[in-house]
Structure 1
Amino acid sequence: MTVPANVAAALPQYDLGAEIGRGGMGVVYAAVHRPLGRAVAVKRLPGVPASDERMSARFAHEARLLARLDHPHIVPVYDYVQDRGEHLLVMEKLDGGTVWSKFTGSGVTPAWSCAFGLAMLSGLHAAHEAGVLHLDVKPKNLLFTAGGVLKVADFGISQVVSEGATLGTHGGQVLGTPAYLSPEQALGNPLSPAADVYGAATVLYELLSGRLPFDGGGGALAMIQRHVHHQPRPLVEVPEPLARVIMRGIERDPRARYRNAETFAVDLAGAAAGVFGRDWLLRLGAPIHLSPQVAAATTRPTATPPVVRETLDIPVRATLAEAGTTPVRLGAETLVPAARVLAPPAPARWFALAAALAAAAMIAVPLATPGRDLPVHSADLSKPVTLGLGDPTTAHLTLTAAGITLADVPATAPDPADPNPAAAGPTSPLTFELPGASRWIVGGAAVATVTADGKSADYSLQPVTHPLVSIMGAGSAVLLLFALAYLESVLRSVRRRRAGTGAVVVAAPLGFGLGVAVWLLASVLLRHAPDLWPALVCGALGAAAAVCTVVAARRSALR
């Protein structure tokens, strides 16, 4: 993607390269500082937040705070530029990937997960002491240098502790990733380092077990509600000392968690020493910078160390149980390889193609289906209708559309004063007066069945008025617009990742209604007597088109 001209003009000493990252609070470009020859990453605040004075001021304030942070496990900020309407943060460029890429690739052993956790907590504690919260701790924000040093990145939604800040929102969206969001963030309560402790503990829980503490179905809102109201699932994949430390970190009540990241790190280091042995960190050779208290705890096992389980040497990957996959046992959980569930099982384009084909067939069916070969009778339905021959004393007319009876009326009795005696005979013309409502329902055509003298005859009864001046005509147009509007709303929510699998369920009846509306509108305009089976076919095709469209939109949004 081409770098905007304003960004290039605001950074004359940098050679800007390709886009290397994108998130809710910024776009990141690769760049090189020409005088020093140093590779950097440039983060650009999006246009809408940049135009908001409060967001702009907050970004500038936090940039100054972050520039003062100097810690081996925090991505350093080299420069901050506010020029030409742009807000640009120049940071160290890290090329070693992320914890997430390792976790979803080759996997991470429990010992390495604990080592990553100590590095993460070390960086967070340094930021907390400087008065900055992160508030979006997750595996994708834990980056590696080329030498394997872990650094906490993207303090883009951090808050200043001294201000007693509460969770901010922008555009109606909660700032933070729902899967790692603390309950107090979700509720908008005052925040403290305990919020980042919760996020860090959730990351460790996931790295050690291959799953999150809460089920992920139902979308972002459902996930947030679980964090606020439900207890997390027990961590059964690792020995009890490690599990106890992690579970304390994800307590719903901030007062029940560790008071800061360093106390969390001390207990984590001690539990790891008990599980992996006193020299566990030395054997790993992990490049970690720890405070004296945490470093001492890494060689001081917790009381009554458990027996080391062989499964602790097996790399854990992001996993999720799914029907039809080969199960793998780890502890008490059934796991499957991440590649089978993280990547879409089929490209979105196939669902988009299926949706297009179903939509085309839905439109073609009512246009290609011939009308029934019936005698056509046009009449003003607001007046008595003369149709068929027979004895008026026994005759009646049934008016139907798609198998639905619209009227069932007897023939009008002959006038006793009629001077023409033939009018009352068994072969007299039959006259029927339709009820008021049915006169306005029929649009285009309906099937009129005249029964007289034990015999029945069908006719295509067509009003002389325009087809759309009827409940069938206008109603089908309204139903079509209603279904299209709601489907568009569902798709917009899916593209913005505000809807989960429930959107697919909602799309089916909306698509069915759309298909029926297309069939009915076409039948009315073509003046075909509407039959039931084309309606069902079009409804099914509409449901298929809607479901495939939503699935394709979800897959595209997740890429």
Structure 2
Amino acid sequence: MSNPAALATALPQYEVGVKIGSGGMGVVFEGTHRSLGRAVAIKVLPADLVGDPSVNARFDREARVLASLDHPHIVPVYDYVQTGADNLLVMEKLDGGTVYDRFHGAGLTGEQSCAIVLAMLGGLHAAHKAGVLHLDVKPKNLLFTSAGVLKVVDFGIAQVVSEGATMMTHAGEVLGTPAYIAPEQAMGNALTPAADIYSSGTVLYELLCGELPYDRTRGAVSMMRQRIFNDPAPIPRVPAPLATVVMRSIARDPEHRYRDVEAFATDLSSAATAVFGAGWLERSGVPVHLAPRITGAISQQLSRQPDALTVVTPPIRGMTAEPTRTMGDFRGKELRPASELMSRRGPSPLWPALVATAALIALVVLPFLSPATLNHPPSALLVNGQPANTTVEVDLSKQITVAGHATAAVELRFDLRAADVLLGRVRKVIAPTPEGTFETTFKPEALMRWLAGGAVTAEITLGDADPETFTLRSAAHPMATIMGAGSLLLSLFALANIEAQMRALRRGHRRPAAPYVAGFLGLLFGLTFWLFITAITTHEPSQPHAIATALAGAVAASAFVLATAWSARRSRA
């Protein structure tokens, strides 16, 4: 970067002073014209760009247009120089500070904020008519003269440095201040005055409520992604007439914004008059050069509300500093257009989507492939008079009678199981007759009645003998049991939480653990879905089918979430 001595050589008619500012687009030195005694500011564009012929050509073209702009709210350009080592702009020196300084200092009232933006829009309108876009509208580029007149600075500098493109590194560091750029600018699309309207609306949004329309806590790249893919948050704590104007100016689609800056200014002046009452512009203390159309809009609004109350608002202060990265912060780092880096495609979601689809098909089919009954050894027992060699239908709310053969008094255990999981147990000591037979009755546990739905595995054990198993079909409707209704509710709960994970990923939230959480939820969904289908179809629960369906659910959920994450990364990255 040039030092004052080098600048004095390039600008012999000026006495060059100390550095008074820096930003994403260059460094500013103070100076004085030797003959006229006029104080000036000398803008030095980043030295890294001087050797680029295309940058030099753009600088020459833009500087000529900037020097021709003449408007009370545009800082005048007195001269420009290209030395081969520097690109220099000589402008009016503004000593009144920036809007950023006032906003983060004493704060700005609503009247002052609207007046500042009206002045800014007046300057932008004049520039747009001359074919110049600003493309870097922000509070730090709005400066005051010592008399308090607001002027817009750095017109066209973004066009010179990067042809209006937002520049960033591979690590996601963004040149300049990304908080105010329009979505189409971040995407690298063709730029129109709508981009400056968006940035101006964002400035107005912040000045009126102290916040930005997007979450700024997750970094510059995340903020750009939000404005590309999400609508801005409604402006809080701002009266409806002003809120309507603000939200239209920052519409995500350029077609839904104001057609030009003057239309924006007209609606803003009317809304401010409706909210603050007569004389608001004078009370703001901010001198504004009004076009006839704007003056007419204020007068027309006053005629519609002649008895409106005068409203004085307290100052709003900016509480969060908005960092600006300069070219000096990127020495040794490659800067590329943000649209190029953000559009680089991540892993293809196709393969996890295919895996998820295959697993989902398996999950749905497996419960229907399970056998209606499991294979059980022959049994001589009678249950409620029905041979245990066949499926026995039992009302678990009533007494159960079991008859069979026994050689001595033993304990009878009656178990109900689903896929080898114990649902309940009844114990009773039996005493056989002299002929070696027995018949006993017992009442099942109350919980068995509510747990068992459809078909389950019953197991009767006499003393130390091997258990005898058979298929038991509950007389209760499956949906009146936990195996039926309970499993359905649990499966819906798991499914809703899987969808919540996917929805968060689609909205751009980073959740590295999402596939693992989804795997657990998918396991639960697969298991409960299998249990529900088994109960409804009155198939005896099979452990291998339960395990297979649960694993299919885990794979399907994890793969679907992974596919969603990769798809979101490709569309938002």
Q: 1:81 to 1:224 in 2, by over 3 A?
A: same
Q: Distance in 1 between matches of 2:76 and 2:169?
A: 29
Q: Distance in 1 between matches of 2:76 and 2:255?
A: 31
- Alignment of 1:255 with 2:255, yes or no, is yes
CA RMSD of aligned residues (A): 2.6
Unaligned runs of 5+ in 1: 321-337, 343-501, 503-559
Which has the larger Rg?
A: 2
Q: Structure 1 residue 288: deviation in Å?
A: 0.9
Q: Structure 1 residue 187: deviation in Å?
A: 0.6
Q: 1:203 to 1:293 in 2, by over 3 A?
A: same
- Alignment of 1:167 with 2:151, yes or no, is no
Counterpart position of 2:92: 92
- Alignment of 1:67 with 2:93, yes or no, is no
Q: Distance in 1 between matches of 2:148 and 2:119?
A: 11
Q: Structure 1 residue 284: deviation in Å?
A: 3.4
Q: 1:166 to 1:136 in 2, by over 3 A?
A: closer
Report if aligned partners of 2:25, 2:176 keep a CA contact under 8 Å in 1.
no
Aligned pairs for 1:106-505 within 5 A: 106-159=106-159, 167=165, 169=167, 177-301=177-301, 313-319=313-319
Q: Distance in 1 between matches of 2:234 and 2:309?
A: 19
Q: Deviation digits for residues 331-386 of structure 1, max 9, x if unmatched?
A: xxxxxxx8xx99xxxxxxxxxxxxxxxxxxxxxxxxxxxxxxxxxxxxxxxxxxxx
Q: Structure 1 residue 159: deviation in Å?
A: 4.1
SS in structure 1 opposite 2:50?
Answer: helix
Counterpart position of 2:501: none
Paired residues, number: 319
Q: Distance in 2 between matches of 1:194 and 1:79?
A: 29
Unaligned runs of 5+ in 2: 324-509, 511-573
Q: Structure 1 residue 158: deviation in Å?
A: 4.6
Q: Deviation digits for residues 489-509 of structure 1, max 9, x if unmatched?
A: xxxxxxxxxxxxx9xxxxxxx
Q: Structure 1 residue 279: deviation in Å?
A: 2.5
SS in structure 2 opposite 1:301?
Answer: helix
SS in structure 2 opposite 1:313?
Answer: coil
Q: Structure 1 residue 21: deviation in Å?
A: 1.0
Runs of 4+, deviation exceeding 4 Å: 168-176, 302-310
Structure with the bigger RCO (C-alpha within 8 Å, sep 6+) is: 2
Report if aligned partners of 2:99, 2:139 keep a CA contact under 8 Å in 1.
yes
Q: Deviation digits for residues 268-288 of structure 1, max 9, x if unmatched?
A: 000011111132223434311
Q: Deviation digits for residues 169-226 of structure 1, max 9, x if unmatched?
A: 4877766521101000011111110100000000000000011111101211001001
Aligned pairs for 1:32-51 within 5 A: 32-51=32-51
Q: Deviation digits for residues 232-260 of structure 1, max 9, x if unmatched?
A: 11112111000000000000000000011
Q: Distance in 2 between matches of 1:68 and 1:197?
A: 22
Report if aligned partners of 1:3, 1:16 keep a CA contact under 8 Å in 2.
no
Q: Which amino acid aligns with 2:269?
A: A
Q: Distance in 2 between matches of 1:140 and 1:250?
A: 19
Counterpart position of 1:547: none
Report if aligned partners of 1:135, 1:176 keep a CA contact under 8 Å in 2.
no
Q: Distance in 2 between matches of 1:166 and 1:293?
A: 30
Q: Deviation digits for residues 449-476 of structure 1, max 9, x if unmatched?
A: xxxxxxxxxxxxxxxxxxxxxxxxxxxx
SS in structure 2 opposite 1:15?
Answer: strand
Q: Which amino acid aligns with 2:24?
A: G
Q: Structure 1 residue 47: deviation in Å?
A: 1.3
Q: Which amino acid aligns with 1:120?
A: M
Q: Structure 1 residue 157: deviation in Å?
A: 3.0
Report if aligned partners of 2:8, 2:16 keep a CA contact under 8 Å in 1.
yes
Q: Distance in 2 between matches of 1:185 and 1:58?
A: 18
Q: Structure 1 residue 5: deviation in Å?
A: 3.5
Q: Structure 1 residue 307: deviation in Å?
A: 8.0
Counterpart position of 1:395: none
SS in structure 1 opposite 2:28?
Answer: strand
Q: Which amino acid aligns with 1:167?
A: A
SS in structure 2 opposite 1:299?
Answer: helix
Q: Which amino acid aligns with 1:192?
A: T
SS in structure 1 opposite 2:41?
Answer: strand
Q: Distance in 2 between matches of 1:3 and 1:241?
A: 50
Q: Distance in 2 between matches of 1:305 and 1:228?
A: 42
Report if aligned partners of 1:245, 1:267 keep a CA contact under 8 Å in 2.
yes
Report if aligned partners of 2:133, 2:156 keep a CA contact under 8 Å in 1.
no
* Structure 2 length-normalised TM: 0.52
Q: Distance in 1 between matches of 2:158 and 2:297?
A: 29
SS in structure 1 opposite 2:274?
Answer: helix
Q: 1:168 to 1:209 in 2, by over 3 A?
A: closer
Q: 1:204 to 1:168 in 2, by over 3 A?
A: closer
Q: Which amino acid aligns with 2:103?
A: F
Q: 1:194 to 1:141 in 2, by over 3 A?
A: same
Larger mean CA deviation between 271-280 and 61-70 belongs to 271-280
Q: Structure 1 residue 155: deviation in Å?
A: 1.7
Q: Distance in 1 between matches of 2:189 and 2:227?
A: 14
Report if aligned partners of 2:166, 2:186 keep a CA contact under 8 Å in 1.
no
Q: 1:166 to 1:22 in 2, by over 3 A?
A: closer
Q: Which amino acid aligns with 1:189?
A: N
Q: 1:93 to 1:235 in 2, by over 3 A?
A: same
Q: Structure 1 residue 82: deviation in Å?
A: 1.4
Q: 1:250 to 1:17 in 2, by over 3 A?
A: same
Q: 1:317 to 1:256 in 2, by over 3 A?
A: same
